[in-house]
């Protein structure tokens, strides 16, 4: 049996012996990728694996099934730690701190095999000394996936706790002729690393880069090959970093890990405090909102700027929230609260670089826009929480009482929510200063 290359369409699955820019079956452009296929001399398939099904009830689970990474914020996102044989994809923009996070993790757990495909051993040593990483780290400078798996298989007997590959975009397999980073190379290399993790029980963490569009570089099937997809985000000009899980077979996908970047590396933040609040909530256009990330309430400050437009179509700029959600909120305020925002440019920003994806911030965005338009501020110590409907009604959100309790514990004793006001127009009239 020997290997050969075929080209498979990622949309319809059509196979071809040569590459084509357009799939001859479905007509999709740039969807043909190179994959390996086995050419069997005999036409009759041979079954030699001896695989047998087992009863699910007979499978025993160890009490210590999960291994802690030594970083509480990382464990929070993973769902308690690493599961034996788990395959994790850690993606993010270049320079956000992916390698630093994994190097810190390697220094906190037992023996780790760190595959350096992009950096030299000296560069990694310099970073390790800077963050004061301690622990047994085995460093392997290699980009061939067959060699990596062979070395890791020999070390599996030494009970290595994890295999870290930095990064999957530079790993290649000798079975394909494509260059490093091509769709076929990335998918085949990731597939073989996932096979190694399932056979040996050693967790594998792969670093992935992001594209200019903000998605994971490589084929879309890469996310299907792994058990957990985590996204490390944050503005490189700021020191706040957020870790989210967009897919997790062994834990939740709504938790978020919060880190701050310092000269000593990444530091986990358990109590956010005023991390996303500037203390200028008494200025017109600023409103504090308690959002919920997983099980953790976080106070964030929403700032809005409303100015007369000089263009035929007013501008709507949103940072930290969905721009389409902002359009709905402004349309609701224009129709239900009678605010002439159709003549104004509106700019909304969530302080600290955090991205809020849940509807509990709707009321705070509405009040901040109304406050900026009327140039009147909310009373000191006020928070706003609630979802805004198209009829202008304020809806209760999940975990509302927990959010309010956390806000009051931090000194915010005035709450604007669905319990105090039924419609957003009432909240604007009664909450803004005369």
Instruction: Look at residue 16 in the predicted model and tell me its pLDDT.
Output: 86
Instruction: Look at residue 43 in the predicted model and tell me its pLDDT.
Output: 45
Q: What is the pLDDT of residues 98-155, one digit of tens each?
A: 999 999 999 888 889 999 998 999 999 999 998 888 878 899 999 999 999 999 999 8
Mean of pLDDT over the chain: 87
Q: What is the pLDDT of residues 240-255, one digit of tens each?
A: 898 999 999 998 888 8
Residue 38 in this model has a pLDDT that exceeds 60: no
Instruction: Look at residue 13 in the predicted model and tell me its pLDDT.
Output: 64
Percent of the chain with pLDDT over 90: 53
Instruction: Look at residue 151 in the predicted model and tell me its pLDDT.
Output: 94
Among left, alpha and beta (phi > 0; psi -120 to 50; other), residue 91 is beta
Instruction: Look at residue 213 in the predicted model and tell me its pLDDT.
Output: 54
131-140, 399-408, 420-429: range with lowest mean pLDDT: 131-140
More confident: 85 or 237: 85
Q: Which two tokens stand for residue 245?
A: 């899980």
How far is 185 from 192, CA to CA, in rounded Å?
Answer: 11
pLDDT band at 181 (very low <50, low <70, confident <90, very high): confident
Residue 380 in this model has a pLDDT that exceeds 80: yes
Residue 389 in this model has a pLDDT that exceeds 60: yes
Instruction: Look at residue 187 in the predicted model and tell me its pLDDT.
Output: 85
* Length of the chain as a residue count: 434
How far is 7 from 127, CA to CA, in rounded Å?
Answer: 41
Q: What is the mean pLDDT of residues 205-232?
A: 77
19-28, 53-62, 168-177, 206-215: range with lowest mean pLDDT: 206-215
The number of beta carbons lying within 10 Å of the beta carbon of residue 275 is 17
More confident: 206 or 3: 206
Whether residue 272 contacts residue 299, with contact meaning beta carbons closer than 8 Å, is answered with: yes
More confident: 279 or 323: 323
Compute and round to an integer the Cα radius of gyration of the chain. Answer: 26
What global pTM score does this model have?
0.79
Q: What is the pLDDT of residues 266-279, one digit of tens each?
A: 988 877 767 888 87
pLDDT band at 1 (very low <50, low <70, confident <90, very high): very low
Q: What is the mean pLDDT of residues 51-73?
A: 82
Instruction: Look at residue 233 in the predicted model and tell me its pLDDT.
Output: 86
Which DSSP state fits 168?
A: G
Instruction: Look at residue 281 in the predicted model and tell me its pLDDT.
Output: 66
Exposure letters 392-421 (e unless 16+ CB within 10 A, then b): bbbeebebbeebbebbeebebeebbbbeeb
How far is 348 from 285, CA to CA, in rounded Å?
Answer: 9
How far is 270 from 282, CA to CA, in rounded Å?
Answer: 27
- For residue 8, the surrounding DSSP H or E stretch is strand 2-9
How far is 94 from 208, CA to CA, in rounded Å?
Answer: 9
Residue 354 in this model has a pLDDT that exceeds 70: yes
How far is 15 from 29, CA to CA, in rounded Å?
Answer: 14
More confident: 15 or 50: 15
Which of 66, 52, 56, 46 is closest to 1 using CA atoms? 46
Residue 342 in this model has a pLDDT that exceeds 60: yes
More confident: 290 or 264: 290
Residue 5 in this model has a pLDDT that exceeds 80: no
110 alpha-carbon distance from chain centroid: 26
Instruction: Look at residue 15 in the predicted model and tell me its pLDDT.
Output: 80
């Amino acid at each position: 049996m020997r290997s050969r290359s075929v080209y498979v369409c990622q949309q319809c699955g059509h196979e071809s012996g040569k590459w084509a820019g357009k799939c001859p079956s479905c007509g999709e452009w740039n969807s043909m990728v190179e994959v390996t296929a086995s050419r069997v001399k005999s036409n009759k398939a041979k079954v030699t694996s001896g695989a047998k099904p087992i009863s699910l009830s007979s499978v025993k689970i160890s009490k210590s099934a999960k291994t802690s990474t030594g970083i509480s914020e990382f464990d929070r996102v993973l769902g308690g730690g690493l599961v034996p044989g788990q395959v994790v994809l850690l993606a993010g923009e270049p320079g956000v701190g992916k390698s630093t996070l994994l190097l810190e993790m390697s220094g906190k757990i037992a023996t780790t095999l760190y595959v350096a495909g992009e950096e030299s051993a000296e560069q990694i040593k310099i970073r390790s000394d800077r963050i004061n990483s301690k622990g047994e780290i085995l460093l392997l400078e290699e980009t061939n996936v067959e060699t990596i798996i062979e070395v890791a298989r020999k070390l599996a007997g030494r009970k290595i706790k994890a295999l870290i590959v930095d990064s999957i975009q530079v790993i290649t397999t000798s079975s394909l002729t494509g260059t490093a980073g091509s769709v076929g190379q990335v998918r085949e290399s990731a597939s073989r690393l996932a096979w190694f993790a399932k056979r040996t029980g050693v967790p594998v963490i792969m670093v992935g880069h992001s594209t200019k569009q903000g998605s994971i570089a490589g084929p879309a099937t890469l996310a299907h090959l792994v058990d957990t997809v985590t996204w490390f985000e944050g503005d490189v000009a700021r020191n706040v970093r957020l870790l989210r899980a967009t897919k997790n077979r062994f834990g939740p996908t709504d938790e978020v890990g919060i880190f701050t970047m310092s000269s000593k590396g990444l530091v986990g933040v358990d109590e956010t405090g005023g991390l996303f609040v500037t203390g200028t909530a008494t200025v017109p256009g600023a409103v504090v909102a308690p959002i919920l990330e997983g099980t953790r309430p976080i106070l964030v400050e929403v700032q809005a700027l409303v100015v007369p437009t000089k263009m035929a179509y007013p501008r709507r700029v949103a940072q930290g929230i969905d721009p389409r959600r902002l359009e709905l909120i402004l349309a609701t305020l224009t129709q239900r609260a009678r605010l002439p925002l159709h003549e104004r440019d509106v700019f909304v920003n969530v302080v600290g670089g955090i991205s809020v994806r849940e509807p509990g911030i709707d009321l705070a965005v509405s009040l901040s826009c109304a406050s900026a338009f009327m140039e009147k501020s909310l009373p000191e110590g006020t928070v706003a929480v609630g979802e805004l409907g198209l009829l202008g009604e304020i809806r209760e959100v999940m975990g509302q009482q927990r959010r309010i309790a956390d806000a009051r514990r931090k000194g915010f004793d005035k709450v604007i929510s669905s319990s105090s006001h039924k419609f957003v127009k009432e909240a604007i009239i009664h909450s803004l200063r005369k």
